[in-house]
Amino acid sequence: MRSSLRHSSRAGRRDPRAVKAAAALIAGALAVSLSACGGSDDDKGDTGKGGGANSSADAAVPQTVKLPKLDGQKLQVSAVWSGVEADNFKKVLAEFEKRTGADVTYVPGQDPIINFLGSKIAGGAPPDVAMLPQVGAIEQAVDKKWAKPLGAEATAELKKNYSPGWADLGKVDGKQYGVYFKAANKSLVWYNTKVFENAGAQEPKTWKTLMDASQTVYDSGVTPMSIGASDGWVLTDWFENVYLSQAGPDKYDQLAAHKIKWTDPSVKDALKTLAQMWGKKDFVAGGADGALQTDFPTSVTQTFTGGDQPKAGMVFEADFAGANVQQAKAKIGTDAKVFPFPAVGDQPPVVSGGDAATLLKDSKAGQALMTFLASPDAATIWAKQGGYLSPNKEVKQAAYPNDVQRSMAKALIDAGDDFRYDMSDQAPQAFGGTPGKGEWKVLQDFLKNPKDVDGTATRLEAEAAKVYKD
């Protein structure tokens, strides 16, 4: 059942769609489909080069969009992606170069990307296109008059290939500025199947059974959970899943819009729940100090390396962790499996995120790249590599390299507009998206001292009050 559109003092600028009751349906579908996805001899697509009747090898890159000839024209594209994510995105840009003759350079950005772009613009050298990982960042780019609206061709391509909810996330004041090229299902827990088998642990469906499974894994001699807490966004994702499931979608929307304060009892309840896991130092790889020195990629790879004695048996994070699983030489569906984030309250949570391409320099070449990124042609290239989900409903499931990722992609598309968008990514970047500040820093401090629930809620509210204009 779909809820009505919600608006806040900030959300009135954009048009995201949300639902009340779809979480159970989507998470239930994920539970069935992901649990059924074992690795087979035919499913060799965990490297993006697999065989099998449904593998990415059978999904050729489509040629659905017509692009202009751009010989000699140069473009710069910036994103915070590094490592395997950057490498895979460069393959997308290489296809655009091949089709148009343009010369595209990838410029690695830094968090917070708005600050990075500000320095580039101040220096007179902004990139043509930037990938913005927060809804709030798109608004800021528009407010600063950096972002340029999409042209007719890019807008038409977006409308043809995206559900209204995903398209509307890129709108500000009714104009289309963003194309969500990369989506994320942020309600997943990845686990080392050998660890679970050795321990006799079962996939949990509730928070209580997650804690029980963690104890079982711990009793087998392996630390249960890996947390990449040096990246503060990982901790915001933990909070959002617990909060959405425990407090419910209406409260989630209110907190996201700062219609209720972070000192609300519902926030404190979520912090108390997190403290059950974070407060057991033996349940977190390296304890709090170790987790705070562990970045997200390492939190994944250390879960799937080390044979029978990895540093952890589980790691919570989005579908894009699959790219890091592959780096660890683990086979998705066999060595590594996933289950939906367990229900804390009545329903399991479904939290989504994404990265939106935004045009900063209006040109024929820039508009053509935005059109390409809105097409299934571009998304299919990265889908074939793995560690990626597209909200583009015209991307074939066969493009994804294994059954687990195909199931994730199907669940995302089947959900349509039925999702809750990452709360911290809706927030002003100073609160929800800046390393060492705001929500990231307060939750990192809470990981170190999970007994301080009241003080943490007070500090969260103090930081939020600085940046929200209620």
d(CA 445, CA 415): 35
Mean pLDDT, to the nearest integer, of 433-448? 96
The reported pLDDT for the residue numbered 418 is 66
The reported pLDDT for the residue numbered 323 is 85
pLDDT interval class at 421 (50, 70, 90): confident
Report pLDDT digits (tens) over 158-203. Answer: 999 999 989 999 999 999 999 999 998 899 999 999 999 999 999 9
The reported pLDDT for the residue numbered 414 is 84
Residue 208 pLDDT > 80, yes or no? Answer: yes
Residue 39 tokens read as: 């690795």
Residue 211 tokens read as: 């804690």
The reported pLDDT for the residue numbered 233 is 95
More confident residue, 369 or 322: 369
Among 57-71, 288-302, 431-445, the least confident range: 57-71
b/e code 421-444 from CB counts within 10 Å (16+ = b):
bbbbbbbbbbbbbbeebbbbbbbb
pLDDT interval class at 34 (50, 70, 90): low
pTM here is 0.75
Among 38-42, 374-378, 379-383, 443-447, the least confident range: 38-42
Residue 12 pLDDT > 70, yes or no? Answer: no
d(CA 383, CA 460): 37
Rg (CA), the chain: 21
d(CA 36, CA 39): 10
Mean pLDDT of the chain: 87
Task: To the nearest 10°, report the CA torsion of 436, 459, 300, 288.
Answer: 100
Residue 342 pLDDT > 50, yes or no? Answer: yes
The amino acid at residue 277 is M
pLDDT interval class at 338 (50, 70, 90): very high
Tell me the DSSP string of 340-353. EPPBSSSS---EEE
How far lies 159's CA from each of 20, 52, 105, 136, 405, in Å? 25, 33, 27, 22, 25
The reported pLDDT for the residue numbered 16 is 37
Mean pLDDT, to the nearest integer, of 294-298? 96
d(CA 183, CA 170): 13
Describe the crossing of helices 376-383 and 83-100 by its angle, rounded to 10 degrees.
140
Q: 115 Cβ partners below 8 Å, 6+ apart?
A: none
Residue 73 pLDDT > 90, yes or no? Answer: yes
The reported pLDDT for the residue numbered 387 is 84
pLDDT interval class at 404 (50, 70, 90): confident
The reported pLDDT for the residue numbered 247 is 96
Q: Provide the percentage of residues in the chain whose pLDDT is more than 90.
A: 73
Residue 311 tokens read as: 């540093």
The amino acid at residue 212 is D
Report pLDDT digits (tens) over 223-233. Answer: 999 999 999 99
d(CA 209, CA 215): 10
Mean pLDDT, to the nearest integer, of 30-59? 40
The reported pLDDT for the residue numbered 108 is 95
Mean pLDDT, to the nearest integer, of 301-315? 97
Please answer whether residues 161 and 370 qualify as being in contact, where contact means their C-beta atoms are separated by less than 8 angstroms: no
Alpha helices of 21-133 — where are they, by DSSP H?
22-35, 83-100, 113-122
The reported pLDDT for the residue numbered 470 is 59
Among 149-153, 305-309, 346-350, 360-364, the least confident range: 346-350
d(CA 281, CA 227): 12
Residue 58 pLDDT > 90, yes or no? Answer: no
pLDDT interval class at 419 (50, 70, 90): confident
3-state secondary structure 94-117: HHHHHHHCCEEEEEECCCCHHHHH
Q: How far is CA 254 from the centre of its chain?
A: 21
Residue 9 pLDDT > 50, yes or no? Answer: no
Residue 310 pLDDT > 90, yes or no? Answer: yes
Residue 41, Cβ neighbours under 10 Å: how many?
A: 7
d(CA 74, CA 240): 40
The reported pLDDT for the residue numbered 260 is 98
The reported pLDDT for the residue numbered 83 is 87
Which residue matches tokens 């304060």?
261
Q: Provide the percentage of residues in the chain whose pLDDT is more than 70.
A: 87
